[in-house]
Structure 1
Amino acid sequence: MQELIGPAAADAVDFTALQNFAALRGQLRVSFTPRCNIACFFCHNEGDVPPPLVRIDRFQQPRPRVLRPDDYLTILRTLMNAGLKRVYFTGGEPLVSPMARPVLEQLPEQGPDTSYTLITNGTRVRANEAWLSRTRLDKIKVSLHYFSDASLNAIAGTQYGIKSVLDGIDSARETCARVELNTLLLRENAHEVPAILDYALTRRLPVQFIELVGTDFNEGRATSAIPADQLIAHLRTLSSEEHTEIAGVGQGRRVFRIDGIEFEVIHRNLGRHHVGQCGSCPRRADCVEGFWALRLDHNGGLQPCLLREDLRLDIAQLLSDPVRLADTVANHVTAFTEGTL
């Protein structure tokens, strides 16, 4: 089993790197579970063993869950007080986890510029809409990588019908003031991208179109990745309102505004945000995203890089001491940005 990085020394703590990361719109991605009710072939599962791999090899299992609802809430309060502002709840599929409801119903009050986003495949939103509507969620982001039963099955390996996903989007709109879509650009869905765009325009839903990022888990389907060039050319026929965003963390993006609705294209040609640890990283050639998220998993690990499990920090042992927890995370982010981990 991968040995976790121990806690950093708590003396002379400098929160500058952590706060700069937050100021650059860095995300805290909180995974409730590695389990999912579908199995998209490209899933990286926030660095854990993804559902498609578990299906074909039962000997490969995700890490066991360590965190309880109160643990998640302690970590959220601590890291948000330390400066993190943008929190995304993920899985697996977060709504299949027993952690989702007790955590989301007790989210700490937001300070200025803070936000909570739930990322979901949409299939479980309707069943949970009553309590979801009472949470402090600012946004629900639904993955729509398909627009037919055939492409849903080809991409996610499931017999769920596309109607269950589209009904989940309708339910999300009834539940939360802000709903967005995200769509990976794939050979398997390329013929449906115009229909997804029309669907979003009709319902006035922003969409983030994303080029597929290669990981160890999806390298067998690398030929499924397609560039965004054709989509960008099409969007330019629909709008003259276009700008690029390359400041901040992660990959650069092109943003189009059509009839008042924003459509983003995450485009690897626009660069990414690398830090000190990336300079000598043996995985640098494989990395197209840079440093854009801190990933908290259900096992109590905090990971600044999806491709480097050896940089994963165990914070489960620090839950009884929030001050030490905040100091340790700040030191870890500082060391990562300076290249001294």
Structure 2
Amino acid sequence: MTLPLLPPAAPGVDWTALQNFAALRGQFRVSLTPRCNLQCWFCHNEGDVPPPATHADRTLQPRHRELHADDYVSVLQAMVDVGLRRVYFTGGEPLASPLARPVLTRLPDPGADGSYTLITNGSLVRKHQDWLAATSVDKVKVSLHYFSDASLYEIANSRVGIGVILDGIEAAREAFERVELNTLLQRENAHEILPILDYALERRLPVQFIELVDTDFNADHRDSAISADSIIKHLRSLTSDERTEIAGVGQGRRVFRVDGVEIDVIHKGLGRHHVGQCGTCPLRLQCVEGLWALRLDHAGGIQPCLLREDLRLDVRDLLGDSGDVLTAAVAQHLAAFTEGTL
């Protein structure tokens, strides 16, 4: 990609880390709400208090919302201007937020190499289909960790019904050219992995299968983790088109192409990849990702890591300033992170 022209303001700012992150197509993940209508047991809620924790103990509440729609749009414009053009909207469930429509219908142009992806559980897509179809969202990624009412209840503690989820996928397909699925491999859905794969292939939907990685977010369910070896073996029986990707940061993955449909598997056996401060981080052994995304939360914080609250940068006081001030602060924060000086 072509590196952006950086703002002339803020002399002395070290833009190197932010430029490199943008050049490597790092993600900018934007959480519109911590709330969700499902309660998946493995949810990390982008670093906030997960819905299952709140359900179990009402004293455990996520951060209060501090941002308004205008704030989100301003931050998006500023970050797009400095090259962070792979934007993912998350939650909780982003379509459960009252800000979903006023934000997603006002997205700045991300440029020719940019994209906007909506990550959703699918249950509310049909309800919002009409206005969603008119947005600049490029792709919808639906989390499909269940394939029956029974597994939906066991995994997400919900009786909404799998039919609602599957109808949401169809609604997304009607409105968007690019729809993908992702599925966490676990004991609770092990018997449904091949049916999910068949469902995806029949509809020519790319799907990602993900091995569970131990973190504090899922410590009570470590026995639910299952290996990806079985799905990898099955995929190899369907195709010889396989490649391995271990570049950059985060988890390595195996990528298969079956009849032109891309299926990838996040496979722990390929290792994890870290940068900068991660090298000496005391939580590195529990780390899922390394630095592959910057996250903006609904309370006005930007952070490069889910496990380190001390790395969260509060940008609320910068929202009334020019975008140059905000991006300079983020650039300095990211430089300090990668150099290990935070």
TM-score by length of 2: 0.95
Which residue in the other structure is 1:54 paired with?
54
Which residue in the other structure is 1:64 paired with?
64
Which residue in the other structure is 2:337 paired with?
336
Does residue 125 of structure 2 align to residue 122 of structure 1?
no
Consecutive aligned runs of 4 or more in structure 1 exceeding 2 Å deviation: none
Which 10-residue stretch deviates more, 26-35 or 213-222? 213-222
| Contact residue 215 and residue 288 of structure 2 kept, 8 A | no
Which residue in the other structure is 1:20 paired with?
20
Which residue in the other structure is 2:326 paired with?
325
- SS of equivalent to 1:234: helix
Which residue in the other structure is 2:177 paired with?
177
In 1, Cα distance between the equivalents of 2:316 and 2:268?
34
* Larger relative contact order (Cα-Cα within 8 Å, sequence gap ≥ 6): 1
Aligned residue pairs: how many?
A: 333
In 1, Cα distance between the equivalents of 2:316 and 2:208?
33
Which residue in the other structure is 1:7 paired with?
none
Counterpart residue identity of residue 80, structure 1: V
| Contact residue 22 and residue 83 of structure 1 kept, 8 A | yes
| Contact residue 268 and residue 288 of structure 1 kept, 8 A | no
Note the alpha carbon deviations across 1:146-193, whole angstroms, 9 max, x for none: 000000000000111100000000000011110000000000001100
Note the alpha carbon deviations across 1:210-241, whole angstroms, 9 max, x for none: 11122212100111111211111110000000
| Contact residue 34 and residue 50 of structure 2 kept, 8 A | yes
Which residue in the other structure is 2:153 paired with?
153
Counterpart residue identity of residue 317, structure 1: D
CA positional deviation for 1:300: 0.3
Structure 2, unmatched stretches of 5+, are 1-9
CA positional deviation for 1:11: 4.2
Note the alpha carbon deviations across 1:75-101, whole angstroms, 9 max, x for none: 000011111121000000000100100
CA positional deviation for 1:337: 1.0
- SS of equivalent to 1:181: strand
What is the alpha-carbon root mean square deviation over aligned residues? 1.2
Which residue in the other structure is 1:238 paired with?
238
Does residue 49 of structure 2 align to residue 78 of structure 1?
no
Matching of residues 148-297 of structure 1 within 5 Å? 148-297=148-297
In 2, Cα distance between the equivalents of 1:174 and 1:313?
39
TM-score by length of 1: 0.96
CA positional deviation for 1:303: 1.1
| Contact residue 256 and residue 263 of structure 1 kept, 8 A | yes
In 1, Cα distance between the equivalents of 2:214 and 2:50?
14
In 1, Cα distance between the equivalents of 2:249 and 2:117?
18
CA positional deviation for 1:35: 0.3
- SS of equivalent to 1:217: helix
CA positional deviation for 1:15: 1.7
In 1, Cα distance between the equivalents of 2:11 and 2:286?
35
Structure 1, unmatched stretches of 5+, are 1-9
| Contact residue 13 and residue 327 of structure 1 kept, 8 A | yes
